């Protein structure tokens, strides 16, 4: 059954003035759909979420080759996503997954806290959390690098689904893009633009015929991330892998956790999971990097030959331009909370 609820909300204009307006919601027990033509919400969750219990997995880091156990844990409202290095002294172990903590984007995204404690290759687990609508989680890890597992976000999605998602009694704060933000590096660019939902438009070009030109548009407002992107694996080129190994990197990389391209050929015996798996993985990486905004986005991402450096620069550019976005959240009442079962 659907119940119509009208909520009075304070909005902020581009000039910084606050103004009250009404939002209209149809509320069901399973989901809450915003049905307003006044506020630019799509069908987005308005309550924060976490997990019902802990979920663990063990594996090697693709670059370090170091084996680690990773446990995604429930966290209270307004925590965000915080890594905890359980092998570091407790007072120095927390590393918040936000753009200001990013210290390296060369081979993956690395975040580091004020004590110099870091965790690398965070993007695939962060993408899974973002894609599943998880606002709050502690990620315990007893090593320096997130396990690569199968090279995609799919194992992390499975972990979250296995324990279940819990809705919290707190309003979700969404970053609504109000004007275009763009960063460029030569021919490459990444952009955020206003959009009533969350969509990614990604394009890549590679000389190898195994990849060539690929372009995809993915609606990740609802289950799109899990179905369209989460299974797409990371990829690398044979000549790069050999060079990385000489430099002590890619120690954990193998055909079990990455697509390996040699010249114009895919080396993996089982081939690809999607004919355009490469561009889908670039979109997956973008979701993980965009999650470093610290809140879900209401906007459209456009990436042309994107990478971690460009994505993180885009998030930093966004956060440095507060006139380009605003935080949306709703005032909750007992009816909304009761309808959501919290």
Q: List residues binding Zn ion (CB under 5 A).
A: 234, 285
**Distance in Å, CB of 149 to Zn ion, minimum:** 12
Q: Which is nearer to Zn ion, 154 or 234 (CB)?
A: 234
Nearer to Zn ion among residue 176 and residue 285 (C-beta) = 285
3-state secondary structure of 123: helix
Closest distance of CB 250 from Zn ion, Å:
13
CB 314 within 8 A of CB 191: yes
DSSP letters, 214-267, are: EEEEEE-SSSHIIIIITTPPPEEEHHHHHHHHHTT--TT--TTTSEEEETTEE-
Q: Which residues contact 285 (CB under 8 A, 6 or more apart)?
A: 123, 124, 127, 234, 306, 307, 308, 311
Residue 113 or residue 230: which is nearer to Zn ion going by CB? 230
> Among 63, 124, 281, 308, which one carries the catalytic annotation?
308
Phi, psi of 311 (to 5 degrees): -65, -45
Least spacing, CB of residue 234 vs Zn ion, in Å: 4
Rounded to a whole number of angstroms, the minimum distance from the CB of residue 231 to Zn ion is 12
Element housing 20 (H / E) = strand 18-27
Considering the complex, state which of residue 167 and residue 234 has its C-beta at the smaller distance from Zn ion: 234
Return the number of the residue (118 or 152) whose C-beta is nearest Zn ion.
152
Strand order in the sheet with 18-27: 3-12, 18-27, 32-34
Whether 215 sits among the annotated catalytic residues: the reply is no
- Phi first, then psi, for residue 323 (nearest 5°) are -75, -10
Report, in Å, the least distance between residue 127 CB and Zn ion.
Answer: 8
**Residues with catalytic function:** 308
């Amino acid at each position: 059954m659907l119940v119509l609820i009208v909520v009075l909300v304070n909005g902020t204009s581009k000039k910084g003035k606050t103004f009250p307006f009404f939002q209209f919601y149809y509320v069901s027990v399973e989901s809450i759909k915003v049905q307003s033509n006044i506020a630019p919400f799509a069908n987005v969750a308005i309550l924060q979420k976490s997990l019902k219990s802990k979920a663990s997995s063990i594996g090697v880091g693709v670059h370090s080759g170091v084996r680690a156990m990773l446990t995604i844990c429930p966290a209270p409202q307004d925590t965000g996503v915080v890594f905890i290095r359980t092998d570091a002294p407790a007072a120095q172990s927390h590393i918040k997954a936000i753009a200001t903590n990013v210290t390296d984007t060369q081979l993956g995204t690395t975040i580091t806290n004020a004590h110099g404690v870091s965790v690398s290759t965070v993007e695939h687990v962060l993408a899974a959390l973002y894609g599943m609508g998880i606002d709050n989680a502690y990620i315990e890890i007893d090593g320096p690098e997130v396990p690569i597992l199968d090279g995609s976000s799919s194992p992390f999605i499975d972990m979250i689904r296995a324990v279940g998602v819990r809705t919290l009694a707190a309003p979700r704060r969404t970053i609504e893009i109000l004007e275009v933000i763009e960063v460029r590096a030569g021919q490459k660019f990444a952009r955020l633009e206003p959009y009533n939902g969350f969509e990614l438009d990604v394009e890549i070009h590679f000389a190898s015929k195994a990849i060539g030109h690929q372009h995809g548009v993915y609606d990740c407002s609802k289950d799109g991330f899990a179905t369209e992107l989460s299974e797409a694996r990371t990829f690398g080129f044979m000549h790069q892998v050999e060079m990385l190994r000489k430099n002590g990197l890619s120690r954990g990389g193998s055909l079990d956790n990455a697509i390996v391209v040699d010249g114009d050929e895919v080396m993996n015996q089982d081939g690809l999971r999607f004919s355009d798996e490469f561009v889908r993985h670039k979109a997956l990486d973008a979701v993980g990097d965009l999650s470093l905004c610290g809140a879900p986005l209401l906007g459209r991402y456009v990436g042309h030959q994107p990478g971690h450096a460009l994505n993180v620069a885009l998030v930093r550019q966004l956060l440095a331009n507060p006139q380009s976005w605003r935080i949306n959240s709703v005032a909750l009442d007992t009816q909304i909370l009761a309808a959501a079962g919290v």
